Chains A and B, each alone.
Chain A
């Protein structure tokens, strides 16, 4: 469940929407559980439902202009100081680079490198061929690596 919520937050960038997304996901999952066979693994299935719910939501809701973006707000929580200063610059740069990517590349990058889904699961979730997942992912990472100065 924390995984789903975190992914919802990454997509929507708002805690209240992420929470709604998780609840919608559970509701739809419960409604559809009879169609779930034993071979279906739960996590990719739930992530796909959540992603579709998010897409539905953004289609209906075109007025996102004034909402507060949680990832732009200063961190409310205090975490281990050393680790934060060490990584803060890199994390900020990653954050910005992620937002600059085209949507199709960002989806693939988030699912594989952030949610740690396999290529095959990602292909299922997005409903695209595995080869497309890999080529988009390679492009996304080339762009990201360049922005982060790792190549």
Chain B
């Protein structure tokens, strides 16, 4: 009889998977050999199961109020704007700022050319081949981050992230590989008047996508522009859903 050698708290922790492997194995062995202990254990697993069943019922029966998401989004955006307006706190920012040093590093200079300066913001429509830009804009409106879009002209657009900038405009970071082989990392924002390019980094890498040093330049841009943190999958989904209209 081992019943007295395992106290309730240990048994409960075992039922909850909170013991380390060695301890759990020891308890499992004793439970297997002792019906009384097994019955005490059932009290703990049974109550856990009962509460889990209650949770599943709640999940089935309780719809999240549909307008709650929208209210929260408005709340978050309002806070982001208030934050941007307060000069003392200009970096509400999830990415690490790495400072200026990487910008001037030799490796980076060799592999990257900064095509457009920070915040230069020229219209996509001013780029060559206007119809491609419609396709690109459509991809930015629609495609979730992490996906690839193949445009009609052979351009591949790989969406990286979405965020709101300090002015509250919806922005997307993406990589673009044109049929000519030209590759760029770009950030475009839409403040309600169409997509506007904020940043373009050109790089010549025949293999994959962004060179390792590119994130440092992007960090610099994000920091300087006081961009908001990247949106979660759900936040992005709801942002893209409203753009589809």
Contacts and interface: CB of A to CB of B under 8 A. Distances in A.
A7 B5 CA distance: 36
Given A5-B64, A91-B53, A142-B43, A10 B79 contact: no
B40 interface: yes
10 contacts: A2-B64, A6-B59, A9-B58, A23-B75, A30-B79, A33-B92, A77-B61, A138-B8, A141-B44, A142-B8
A150 to B, nearest CB: 4
A114 B13 CA distance: 16
B12 A137 contact: yes
Contacts of B20: none
A79 B228 CA distance: 40
A126 interface: no
Contacts of B46: 145, 148, 150-151
A contact patch SS: helix
Contacts of A34: 89
Interface string B216-237: 0000000000000000001000
A112 B8 CA distance: 16
Contacts of A114: 51-52, 54-55
B57 interface: yes
B180 interface: no
A94 interface: yes
B128 interface: no
A110 B52 CA distance: 10
B62 interface: yes
B65 interface: yes
Interface residues of A, number: 46
Interface in B24-73: 39-40, 42-44, 46-48, 50-55, 57-65, 68-69, 71-72
A69 B110 CA distance: 67
B18 interface: yes
A135 interface: yes
Interface string A57-82: 00000000000000000011101000
6 interchain residue pairs of minimum CB distance: A113-B51, A150-B46, A145-B43, A151-B43, A141-B47, A30-B79
B53 A144 contact: no
Contacts of B79: 27, 30-31
B16 interface: yes
Interface string B190-219: 000000000000000000000000000000
A1 B64 contact: yes
B76 interface: yes
Contacts of A140: 47
Contacts of B12: 134, 137-138, 141
B72 A23 contact: yes
Given A5-B64, A19-B68, A30-B79, A90 B50 contact: yes
Nearest to B91: A34
Contact of B72 (A6, A22, A118): A22
B24 to A, nearest CB: 15
